[in-house]
Amino acid sequence: MQFLCASDDLPEATSHGFVINGLSLLAVRREGQVFVYQNRCPHRGVPLEWREHQFLDTSGSLIQCATHGALFLIESGECVAGPCAGDSLSVIACREDERGVWINPQPED
């Protein structure tokens, strides 16, 4: 496992982008749990964020692709609306302990 960030660096209901060993990632904290995905839309292969660290839609309840508006469930990465509906973001295994958030930087496709 590789250290991603301190827990305080990812407050509740926020998203944050990271680059680890050349791999672009996004992390979201929702209801106390951290979810990490590869920052790559399954439709076009482009980064998802609107601007730095901004991956969520205006309601803060879904991940949204800035290129074409596809919407993804935070808890699973599944696309529920847009041109890649039914596809999913690549999950990055993570865990959190008293030192922070840790990842296995290999996508779990």
Q: List strand residue ranges (DSSP E) for the chain, in order.
A: 2-5, 15-20, 23-30, 33-38, 62-64, 71-73, 79-81, 92-97, 100-107
pLDDT of residue 107: 67
pTM, whole model, 2 decimals? Answer: 0.94
For residues 12 and 30, give the distance between their C-alpha atoms in angstroms, rounded to a whole number: 6
Structural contact between residues 29 and 16, judged by C-beta atoms closer than 8 angstroms: no
All residues at 6 or more sequence positions from 98 whose CB lies less than 8 Å from its CB, including other chains: none
pLDDT of residue 105: 82
pLDDT of residue 43: 87
pLDDT of residue 76: 97
Query: Mean pLDDT of residues grouped by 10 in the chain (109 residues)?
Result: 96 96 95 97 91 94 94 97 94 97 82
For residues 92 and 109, give the distance between their C-alpha atoms in angstroms, rounded to a whole number: 9
pLDDT of residue 109: 58
Domains of the chain listed by start with CATH number: 2-107 (2.102.10.10)
